Structure 1
Amino acid sequence: MEFILTDNNRKELNYMRHNSDIDLDIGDTNDFKISMSFEDYLHFGYDFGYMFFAESTEYGGIFGQRHTNTETNIVELSGYTYRGLLSKKIIEPPSGVAYKTVTGECNSIISSIIGSNFDSLFQVGYYDYNTQTVITDSGFSVSNYSFDRYTDVLSGLTKMLKSVGAKLQIQCVSGNTNEPFTVYLSATPINDFSEEIEYSQDNKINFITSKKTNGINHLICLGQGELTARTVVHLYADADGNISQTKTFSGINERAAVYDYPSAEDENTLITEGKENFKELMNMQSIEISVDDLSVELGDIIGGRDRLTGFYIKEQITNKIVKIDNGKLSIDYKVGES
């Protein structure tokens, strides 16, 4: 994998072929850090607002911070990835309306949300390398979908697409000679590779598994009102993580918490937001895998099994850590919630 350096107009300058360490987080903090010598920093002419990318991937970002150390002769550059930039814009409801509600084909909605907020960095559609054309119709649509109030663009689009079985795919594509590169955003299917891809000790790779069974399984949601007039909704989780208003656990196995949302417009809103909060408190399981030859995207589904404990997980990829250390590429995948 090679990274290309561009100026602040996205015009390609050079391949980043120097001795640097690169660390990108995709899906969690959505930022990056690059360490290099002063000599390489000066030779390649890095500057604030410059960008970098790896062709056909979403790996890259825009330089926004610099840290230097004269004792070690090291320059550290950092900034947001392209996915991270999306998290720095907010979807606001129209004036006088509680929620921004959309209907239509998903790529068209993405385009309307992006608008001119990012100048011309982002274009909407899937770039097909075989035909060298951009496919604008995703095949996915929503009807009367309401974004959470004042959610960031990344969270809002991710949640909207997940509701129809899609994910947000990001591709960096080189421009023609002397033309800027483009970052394409598109709604694409969530691929379930769990039948084809299941990592275990049989693959002779190491991984880290986590399983939490003592999470919250009873959430008391408090809405509008005061004292005895306050709206109260009880949500319960069963052993499989399904959320309902039917109690499953009692006695020593019941673990309760309170979710305080006094500004909830109505009971349905309280339930919807309560469920989202509940997911962060309940039982969870995850697996972290380090492998550099896995062609899957954030949001796709794979499987993992620890034969020592019998642990099995089939979940979406929620985080990718891309590293180049002394010229060696590694990609860590996290599956499931932490």
Structure 2
Amino acid sequence: MVNRYEFQLADRNRRELGILQNVDIDINIGNSNDFEVTILFEQWDGSIKEGYYIYSNHNEYGGIVGEFKSSTKTREIFVRGYTWRGMLGKKIIRPDPGEDYRVVKGELNEILRDLINEQYEDLFEVSGESTGVIIGSMQLDRYCTLLDGITKILDSVGYRLDIRYVTGTRWEAGYVLIGAEKIQDHSETIEYSQDGYVEFTATKNYRGINHLICLGKGELKDRKVIDLYVQEDGSIEKDRQHYKGIEEIAEIYDYSNAEEDELYKKGIEKLKNEMNSSEFKAEVDEVEEDWPIGDSISGRDYISGIEVSQPIIEKNCTVKDGEIEIEYKIGGREGQYA
């Protein structure tokens, strides 16, 4: 059982300075993608500086210091920054010169290497292993973030983004190792419930939108209109309505300057976020395994009968007094009666 994570500090050259002690740490992966280190005034020695690295070895928890906040009320100093995943979310993929969209093709890790090397010189290193998965050709959204672009590529073939920090030696700087990993479904074997004595909240939302009326370019009767409908199995189709009458829940999506192709694509994205969903948050303080973003696990509440078997979409890692607690958030879209 792992009940203690050691977080280390490195300088701007990623040379290890030692273990962080007497600090509380809160790291989000999957949503805000940032971290906060809390240090009492009495424990502050000025050793953490802007541009320094805070990390836990061989996992995703870490990032670069970019903000300091001091509170005389609580007598605490807060050190903040983006995580490695957060840094990928702060870079933009641009179309090639003269092209409308960026198009990628090739083996997954080769694609990741090309995209990341454009943005970062040596902090990120992409795995040299081949996944054996080849993308023939994929068009990315215009000016999407590096994180969103990579996620779209990997999602399309059932892969997820693996991120971990590799500590440097006395002579070599540390680095962030990135690679494409096949998504695993652990939902048959990993279930969080009352049986595990974990704290959790479970949500099953049946009030989601199932009919999205997308309004695009044009005026009045000449305006482009696309009707998107959620099907019983959770899929989305155009012009084929499944839920009618009292079961229909409709909403307008106004995208006034969009041509038909763009309106359809963005409408699908909008409806996926608004349709029926399930969510389960579990706080785990006895960490035997640290499940990654993208893999699926299960949650069950025996009292309400809510069951959720979905991918992990967010994690919060909290370290207090050397003890770790990880909160998993799993969730996703579902059919009307799932």
TM-score (norm 1): 0.92
Report the counterpart of residue 130 of structure 1 in structure 2: none
Contact 2:65 2:80 in 1 (8 A): yes
Q: Where do residues 162-311 of structure 1 align in structure 2 (5 Å cutoff)? A: 162-245=155-238, 246-265=240-259, 267-291=260-284, 292-311=287-306
The secondary structure found in structure 2 opposite 1:178 is: coil
Distance in 2 (alpha carbons) for counterparts of 1:177 and 1:296: 31
Distance in 2 (alpha carbons) for counterparts of 1:162 and 1:96: 28
Distance in 2 (alpha carbons) for counterparts of 1:140 and 1:276: 25
- How many positions carry a matched residue from both structures? 326
Q: Where do residues 95-114 of structure 1 align in structure 2 (5 Å cutoff)? A: 95-114=97-116
TM-superposed CA distance for 1:311, in Å, is 1.4
Provide, for residues 202-257 of structure 1, a one-character-per-residue CA deviation record: whole Å limited to 9, x for no partner: 22323110111111110011223332222211001134322112101122221111
Report the counterpart of residue 82 of structure 2 in structure 1: 80
Distance in 1 (alpha carbons) for counterparts of 2:212 and 2:140: 23
Report the counterpart of residue 336 of structure 2 in structure 1: none
Distance in 1 (alpha carbons) for counterparts of 2:202 and 2:51: 38
Q: Quick one: which of 1, 8, 18 aligns to 2:12? A: 8
Report the counterpart of residue 23 of structure 1 in structure 2: 26
Report the counterpart of residue 144 of structure 2 in structure 1: 151
Contact 1:12 1:178 in 2 (8 A): no
Contact 2:14 2:168 in 1 (8 A): no
Provide, for residues 177-196 of structure 1, a one-character-per-residue CA deviation record: whole Å limited to 9, x for no partner: 23211101111100111111
Distance in 1 (alpha carbons) for counterparts of 2:299 and 2:63: 30
Q: Quick one: which of 133, 140, 153 aligns to 1:140? A: 133
Provide, for residues 237-289 of structure 1, a one-character-per-residue CA deviation record: whole Å limited to 9, x for no partner: 13432211210112222111122234434x33322221111111111110001
Report the counterpart of residue 53 of structure 1 in structure 2: 55
Q: Which runs of 5+ in 2 are unaligned?
A: 334-338
Contact 1:90 1:152 in 2 (8 A): yes
Which letter does structure 2 place at the counterpart of 1:60?
A: G
Cα RMSD for the two superposed structures: 1.7
Distance in 2 (alpha carbons) for counterparts of 1:176 and 1:92: 35
Q: 1:40 to 1:30 in 2, by over 3 A?
A: same
Which letter does structure 1 place at the counterpart of 2:207?
A: N
Provide, for residues 99-148 of structure 1, a one-character-per-residue CA deviation record: whole Å limited to 9, x for no partner: 111111111111111124223110101xxxxxxxxx43122221211111
> Which aligned segments of 4 or more residues in structure 1 are displaced greater than 4 angstroms?
none
Q: Which runs of 5+ in 1 are unaligned?
A: 126-134
Q: Which stretch shifts more, 34-43 or 218-227?
A: 34-43
Identity %: 40
Q: 1:307 to 1:240 in 2, by over 3 A?
A: farther
Contact 2:15 2:170 in 1 (8 A): no
TM-score (norm 2): 0.92
Q: Which stretch shifts more, 151-160 or 292-301?
A: 292-301
Distance in 1 (alpha carbons) for counterparts of 2:96 and 2:118: 17
Alignment partner of 1:325 is 2:330: no
TM-superposed CA distance for 1:52, in Å, is 1.1
TM-superposed CA distance for 1:39, in Å, is 4.4
